[in-house]
Amino acid sequence: MSKFGLYTKFTTHEGHRDSLVEMLLEASNGMESVEGCDLYVVNIPDNEPDSVWVTEIWSDPSAHQASLFLEEAKVLIQRARPLITGVKQIKLRPVGGKGF
Amino acid sequence: MSKFGLYTKFTTHEGHRDSLVEMLLEASNGMESVEGCDLYVVNIPDNEPDSVWVTEIWSDPSAHQASLFLEEAKVLIQRARPLITGVKQIKLRPVGGKGF
């Protein structure tokens, strides 16, 4: 089974980016114990004040899919939803590299 | 100094994606010994046959900047240029997460 990668861009209501960043960092703490999650990094883009990008690498697509049904993920989605105006995802197949 | 992240999308002439992937994987081998390069992953996107995304995390922006002047990087750019029709970059400040 090949690895699974994801770039997710969240756009927030004006001025709510930092609150979402905090929630995503909490989520990444929860990921420490989630098997199959190799990388979950929260990023602030250079030129967009109300956006956050999350970089994920999973051992396989099904590990990522299963993570969406964790209780913690569902609670996070509920809490974050009011802050968010848009979500864009780029699905990837990581094929190799450093730190991979 | 904060970390530096980069998503780079390369678009190739039709049918030349796999050649570029090979070159980028070679580049990532070279990165093993480059200080300041924490992550360099080559990814194939889900729905775009002639594109490659590279995910990078560097210890700081200047480490990334310095890497562009390495002889190996210059040679790679020369070799890859004929395959490439477009480059798009998203510059990021990684703020935390798992595997960070």
Q: In Å, how far is A82's CA from the nearest CA of chain B?
A: 22
Per-residue pLDDT of A76-92, as tens digits, reads 999 999 999 999 999 99
pLDDT, position B72: 87
Closest to B77 in 3D by CA, of B3, B32, B37, B27? B27
Q: Does A42 touch chain B (CB under 8 A)?
A: yes
Domains of chain B and any CATH numbers:
4-13+22-92 (3.30.70.100)
Q: Record the tokens describing residue A19, joined without a space.
A: 């609150």
Closest to B27 in 3D by CA, of B49, B59, B56? B56
Confidence label for B73 from pLDDT (cuts 50, 70 and 90): confident
- Amino acid symbol at B44: I
pLDDT, position B100: 78
Nearest to B97 among A7, A28, A95 (CB): A28
Question: What's the whole-number mean pLDDT along residues A21-25?
Answer: 97
Flag whether pLDDT at A20 surpasses 80.
yes
Closest to A57 in 3D by CA, of A18, A97, A21, A87? A97
Q: What percentage of chain B carries pLDDT values higher than 70?
A: 100
This model of the complex carries an ipTM of 0.94
Distances (CA, A) of A33 to A69, A79, A97, B14, B88: 15, 21, 24, 42, 34
Flag whether pLDDT at A1 surpasses 80.
no
B contacts of A47 (beta carbons < 8 Å): 91
Per-residue pLDDT of A29-60, as tens digits, reads 989 999 999 999 999 999 899 999 999 999 99
Average pLDDT, chain B: 95
Question: What's the whole-number mean pLDDT along residues B68-93?
Answer: 94
Q: Does A89 touch chain B (CB under 8 A)?
A: no
